[in-house]
Structure 1
Amino acid sequence: MRRMISSNRAPLVLMFVFSAAMGTMGPAIPVFQEVFGLDYSEAALNLTLFSGGALLGGATVGFVRRAIPRQVIVILSLLGITCGGVLVILAVTPALTYVGAFIMGLLGVTSLTVGQAVLGEMYPDDRVVTLSRGHLLAGWGLLAGAAAVALGRTTGFWQLIFVIPMAFAVLALVMGTTRVLPKRPLNDEMEDPNQEGVSAVTWVAAALTGLAVVMELGVTAWAASYLEDILGFADVIAAGATVVVLSGLVLGRIALTRWVGEFRLTSVMLTVLGAVVGSSILYLGGPVIPGPGGTVVALIGLVLLCLLVSTVFPLGLILTMESAGRADAQEGASEMAVTAGGLAGITSPFAIASLADLLSIQIALIGVPVAAVVSALMVLWVRRRLGRQLSVPAST
């Protein structure tokens, strides 16, 4: 059968497909509330279980990737997104949506980890810029997920929300994405059974990716709820506005691909994290201003936050993989970052939802600037430990 996709594009497609599935879960929280009569915590449990599945999948894939060809792992991943989506669509009770979301995360996450690892292996001398471009495609996937939610709410056919990421997964299979992937890591022959363990710096860098997920989910997953409940937007308008606002995710990652190789990695991260704190003040403090001016300020803050938080996870991932050093450690470092992100994905939606039920979504989202401050302190520690090793050369 003639291949419909090239080997260098296959990992990008995989990252896009998983991100599209993940991108539906947060913006769909108000949908789950309406369809099943749930509160914040109950509706957010779908996102929590999706992230929990991703955490478990990311933690276990390392044990099976040496025994099972990558093609098989990715086929199972794409089928998992499809089958999990079917369960959500056919759900008549929240319990079935919970199971479907968990399956989508558990099996789907390997598309992300394999995609990241293959990109790093294919372009070892330009890994930083290549991974940032990969996460640009992932940003498009998140935007596609939000667009699916807007389409489902506009048409009144909420099941359409999950049909779209399922269609992406099926299309990836039909296009022959799995057939062009290397069966084993390209650097398997370089592995040393007596290699040193993971350094403390790599662990801290991986933890940074977890905090990046806290920030990104805090902005993207709750944007629709914030627009409806705090700024008073109608549900359909809020869904459409969320798509427009989340376009900032893509713009932020476009900027990242252009500039990441031009400046010191840790300096870029510190600048971004400082700007996240400032933008959070606009976003969360805007409604305090009376009249339409407060809404405008809040929307400006939200757009800026989308631009900024979209870059933190890719930067954290690059930092994690760069700190690992050895080429044979790249896939393990990628899995560590995804595992940290999955752990954050489990805890942060539940924490924010619980605070939103108890107080308000506006107060609950103070966790975003707090995570940015903690992340900045961790970046400073990493920079002190590694110093000039984190100066990233520009792409040629």
Structure 2
Amino acid sequence: MPYLSFASNFLWVMVIGLLGPSIPGLVSELKINYTQAGLFFTLLSLGSLFGTLFGSMSTDYLDRKVIYGVFSFSLCVGLLGVGVAPAYGVILIVIFFMSVLGSPIGAVGQSIMIDMYPQKRERNLSLMTSFAAAGNLCAPILVSLNYTIGLNWRHSFYETALMAFLLFTAIMIIPLPPKTIYQGEGVNPLKIIVHPQVIISGLLIFLSVGVDIGFSYWIAEYFNTELNVPLRFASAVAGVYLTGVISGRFITSRLVRHVRPATIMKGSLILALVSLTIFLSQPIVSVKIVFSFFYGLGIGPLFPLLMSRGVAAFPAQPGSVTGILFSMLSLGGMVFPFLLGTLAETTSIEKSYFFIGGINLILLIAIHLWNRRSG
């Protein structure tokens, strides 16, 4: 079962990752500006906010196999719909509904995995999010390969739809275990939402989207238009950053056995701040590429460790907590790509990255204060 969870998160984050490297092609074909391009991710995240919240919570109450299968098949149909949509407005609508009905696959897979292996929460979440980052890594590679052989951005969505169908098939074939029954379970969802540990984890996850997706979403366009890197190479640069993210999360899955999660997060944020500073201060393209890797290495541990800390508050209802925290992730996805796109439109993409540095600093201070207060 953990492998279905890994595959689900790989696929959904790959879908998210398709948009960033596809932006140059979308901007060119549809004749839209950066602010309009930012709306793709805003609507994807708006749909995900509702989809992951209610979809993940449903695993605490409904038949897991049925809802898991429905969501995976819906994602397949939605990806095909994006590929054939003829105009900007139609693409926006299809992306929104695809996200509402397809986004829960990652959260549903995660909640089932946490319910099965609560004692391995930090390790499994780090490994699972490594697979998620690998999906994000494969997305720009897929887009770049399609451009290289003369295909356009639409073919990447067709190919990913095939992967979604394969996941649906696996979910239907592989048996899923029943939900673990805990003494005294059945906490009112409102009590989960207002719990301090869940609130703080959710707010920090919201901010972490700014330093992660906010950076990777615009990186292809940044290298293409502001650094004059050819499109097929610019689309692949995000892969360097994501390799860093994957490495950071894999290392974290080993480190959590020996080092406190708060210490890992603070150290990783310091590495990210230093790397981003060098990335922005150096004009040499090769240097920027190298330090985009180290920036990803620093950002990687944040999400799984924040998610783990939030879910630990209510081990009897991993689906509900996962849904709430994933909704904060989606809310961040609504806000930051659009906000950074607006900043890029009025200044430049590079200058908008200074805003990301500020969010990094806020996260570092907040995690330090939270750790001191809690122990």
- Structure 2 counterpart of 1:113: 107
Which amino acid is the alignment partner of residue 129 of structure 1? Answer: R
* Cα deviation, residue 67, structure 1: 5.0
Q: What letter matches 1:357 in structure 2?
A: E
2:45 and 2:99 in contact (8 A); partners too: yes
Structure 2 gaps of 5+ residues are none
CA distance 1:303–1:242, change in 2 (3 Å): same
Mapped pair 1:181 → 2:176: yes
> Cα RMSD (Å) of the superposition?
2.0
Aligned-partner Cα distance in 1 for 2:187–2:265? 34
Is 1:72 aligned to 2:89, yes or no? no
Q: Which is worse superposed, 199-208 or 59-68?
A: 59-68
Give yes or no for contact 2:55–2:108 (8 Å, CA) kept in 1.
no
Asked whether the 8 Å contact 2:17–2:137 carries over to 1, the reply is: yes
Task: Tell me how far 1:10 sits from its aligned partner.
Answer: 1.8
Say if 2:57 and 2:319, in contact at 8 Å, map to a contact too: no
Which of 303, 325, 345 in structure 2 is aligned with 1:337?
Answer: 325
Q: Is the 8 A contact 1:252 1:311 kept in 2?
A: yes
Tell me whether 1:228 sits opposite 2:224 in the alignment: yes
Deviation at 1:190, TM superposition (A): 4.5
Q: Distance in 2 between matches of 1:117 and 1:138?
A: 15
1:144 and 1:188, CA in 2 relative to 1: closer, same or farther beyond 3 A? farther
Out of 152, 177, 189, the residue aligned to residue 146 of structure 2 is 152
Write the mapping of 1:136-215 to structure 2, written as runs, cut at 5 A.
136-158=130-152, 159-176=154-171, 179-182=174-177, 185-187=179-181, 190-193=184-187, 197=192, 198-215=194-211
Return 312-321 or 245-254, whichever deviates more: 245-254
State the shift of 1:189 in Å.
Answer: 6.1
Q: Does structure 1 residue 359 correspond to structure 2 residue 347?
A: yes
TM-score in terms of structure 2 length? 0.93
Counterpart residue identity of residue 237, structure 1: F
Partner of 2:368: 380
Distance between the aligned counterparts of 2:333 and 2:188, measured in 1?
33
Identical counterparts, % of pairs: 24
Name which of 10, 21, 27 aligns with 2:21: 27
Query: What is the letter of the counterpart of residue 158 of structure 2?
Result: V
The amino acid across from 2:159 in the alignment is I
Which whole-Å deviations, capped at 9, do the CAs of 1:140-195 have from their partners, x for residues lacking one?
Answer: 11112222211222223221111222111101122245742245x32366514479
Give the letter aligned to residue 334 of structure 1: T
Aligned-pair CA distance for 1:331: 2.4
Instruction: Tell me the amino acid that sits aligned with residue 297 of structure 2.
Output: L
Match of 1:45 among 29, 35, 39: 39
**Structure 1 residue 238 corresponds to structure 2 residue 226:** no
The question of 1:102 aligning with 2:92 is answered: no
Rounded to whole Å, the distance in 1 between the matches of 2:7 and 2:69 is: 13
Query: Cα gap change, 1:205/1:45 in structure 2, threshold over 3 Å: closer, same or farther?
Result: same
Matches within 5 A, 1:286-301: 286-287=282-283, 294-301=284-291
Indicate whether 1:60 and 2:50 are aligned. no
3-state SS of 1:157 partner:
coil
Code of the residue aligned with 2:131 in structure 1: it is L
Letter in structure 1 aligned against 2:166: L
SS at match of 1:175: helix
Distance 1:15 1:188, change over 3 A: farther
Q: For this pair of structures, how many residues does the alignment match?
A: 372
SS in 2 for 1:43: helix
Q: Calculate the TM-score normalised by the size of structure 1.
A: 0.88
Q: 1:128 aligns to what SS in structure 2?
A: helix
Task: Please state if 1:320 is matched with 2:310.
Answer: yes
Classify the secondary structure of the residue corresponding to 2:21. coil
Encode CA deviations 1:36-74: one digit per residue, 9 max, x unaligned. 111111122111111111111123235644553122221
2:6 equivalent in structure 1: 12
Aligned match of 1:304: 294
Deviation at 1:204, TM superposition (A): 0.7
Contact kept, 8 Å, 2:197 with 2:309, in 1: the verdict is no
The more displaced of 347-356 and 228-237 is 228-237
Q: Give the letter for the 2:309 counterpart.
A: L
Deviation at 1:19, TM superposition (A): 1.5
Answer yes or no: is the 8 Å Cα contact 2:69–2:171 preserved in 1. Answer: no
Pick one of 262, 272, 278 that aligns with 1:276: 272
Q: Which residue identity lines up with residue 180 of structure 1 in the other structure?
A: P
Indicate conservation of the 8 Å contact 2:134/2:242, yes or no.
Answer: no
**Aligned-partner residue type, residue 241 of structure 1:** V
Query: Is the Cα–Cα contact under 8 Å of residues 84 and 102 in structure 1 kept in the other structure?
Result: no
User: Which deviates more from structure 2 when the two are superposed, residues 189-198 or residues 27-36?
Assistant: 189-198
